Chain A
Amino acid sequence: MAAAKKKNHNWCGITLLALYGLFTIYASFLLSSLNKGKVIGKLSDETLTGIKEAFILWGVIMIIGAILLLIREYVLKSGQEEVKDTERGVAPHY
Chain B
Amino acid sequence: MSISIKVDKVSKSFGKKQVLKDISLEIEEGKIYGFIGPSGAGKTTLVRLIVGMDRPDSGTITVLNKQVPSMEILPEIGYMAQSDALYNDLTGEENLKFFASLYKLNKKQQKERIEYAASLVNLNSDLKRRVSVYSGGMKRRLSLAIALIQDPKILILDEPTVGIDPELRVGVWQELKRLRDEAGKTILVTTHVMDEAEKCDYIGMVRDGSLITKGTPKQLKEFYQAGNLDEVFFKAGREFQ
Whether chain B is bound by chain A comes out as no
B residues near A (Cβ < 8 Å) are none
A residues near B (Cβ < 8 Å) are none
